[in-house]
């Protein structure tokens, strides 16, 4: 992973997961399930789920914030594409 369908390419300080969280995370942190999702303590989400790694928590946020059509708040489609 490293590139997004919108043209984003990973930077030294921002990877594709950071980018996708930025374009999909709503201001009110309410996910597609109607619940608020935010990290409340070490690797725990406010919905009650706890994770072992930051990657698992990030994947949780992406799952609950990404709309089915993968269109971000900017109106563009955002999905990881293989850069090779």
Structure tokens at 42: 């070490």
**pLDDT score of 1 more than 90:** no
Query: What was the pLDDT predicted at 50?
Result: 97
Query: Tens digits of per-residue pLDDT, 20-71?
Result: 999 999 999 999 999 999 999 999 999 999 999 999 999 999 999 999 999 9
Residue 21 C-alpha from the chain's centroid: 3
**Beta strands at 44-45 and 39-41: parallel, antiparallel or unpaired:** antiparallel
Structure tokens at 28: 């009110």
The rounded distance, in Å, linking the Cα atoms of 75 and 70 is 10
Altogether, the residues listed in the chain come to a count of 84
| Separate counts of helices (H) and strands (E) for the chain | 2, 4
């Amino acid at each position: 992973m490293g590139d997004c369908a919108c043209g984003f390419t990973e930077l030294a300080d921002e990877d594709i997961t950071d980018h996708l969280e930025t374009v999909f995370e709503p201001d009110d942190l309410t996910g597609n399930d109607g619940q608020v999702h935010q990290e409340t303590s070490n690797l725990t989400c406010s919905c009650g789920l706890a994770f072992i790694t930051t990657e698992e928590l990030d994947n949780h946020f992406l799952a609950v914030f990404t709309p089915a059509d993968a269109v971000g708040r900017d109106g563009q489609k955002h999905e990881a594409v293989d850069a090779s």
